Structure 1
């Protein structure tokens, strides 16, 4: 596909496609007439880039994720982590409901118990 078709099908501008190409995020080949030709997989890659940008990742971080995804490991790991976070969110919501009327000293004790775990979670988020 030529750059205009990629832009049209993906919903991003030609300038954005060009920028991602220059950053090394998108694979491209040149035709004999020196047109940039993109493989069909570029649309999936653009979707992933947009998703990662919504997560406030930098271009360098996106490059690392895409590189790791090429190896097939990162994507599965990210899905597992997201699933774990969703599970934790449900547990937190349940705990909040249970503690709504609990005395302050019970809340403080639970807070201290969970503090170290929260540091570990924050560290993991920083790595992502």
Structure 2
């Protein structure tokens, strides 16, 4: 969204959004025409900034709070992924035990069924 859209949707002035942006509170990208484009999540960030301002936090304190909440959300998500990964490892171990004596064609069918999922898991691991 362009800054005008953000201002209209959030009720925050363009000047204030510009100030928050220059203070490093809001992320944006530049368009080909050099406009600042804000993600949809900027509206939630502006709400959070307003709540923190109401608590009389300084811009530096607000920036720190926004950065730490982003990091803690990431940490929670990473923990969830690790838990899921551990569950998958246990299921894979059980599946391996069940397939020890299975005929080759059954193993091939299961392998093909799991192949696309394994590519997705490998892609995720590459990000980490």
* Deviation (angstroms), 1:72: 2.0
What is the match of residue 34 of structure 1?
34
Q: Does 1:53 align with 2:53?
A: yes
RMSD across aligned positions (CA):
1.3
What is the match of residue 70 of structure 1?
70
TM-score for both structures, normalised by structure 1: 0.56
TM-score for both structures, normalised by structure 2: 0.56
Q: Does 1:7 align with 2:7?
A: yes
What is the match of residue 24 of structure 1?
24
Task: Show structure 1 runs of 4+ deviating over 4 A.
Answer: none
Aligned residues between the structures: 74
Structure 1: any 5+ residue segments left out of the alignment?
A: 77-128
Deviation string for 1:73-111 (max 9, x for gaps)? Answer: 6xx9xxxxxxxxxxxxxxxxxxxxxxxxxxxxxxxxxxx
* Deviation (angstroms), 1:54: 0.1
Deviation string for 1:35-81 (max 9, x for gaps)? Answer: 000000000000000000000000000000000011126xx9xxxxx
Q: Distance in 1 between matches of 2:32 and 2:63?
A: 28
Q: Distance in 1 between matches of 2:72 and 2:41?
A: 15
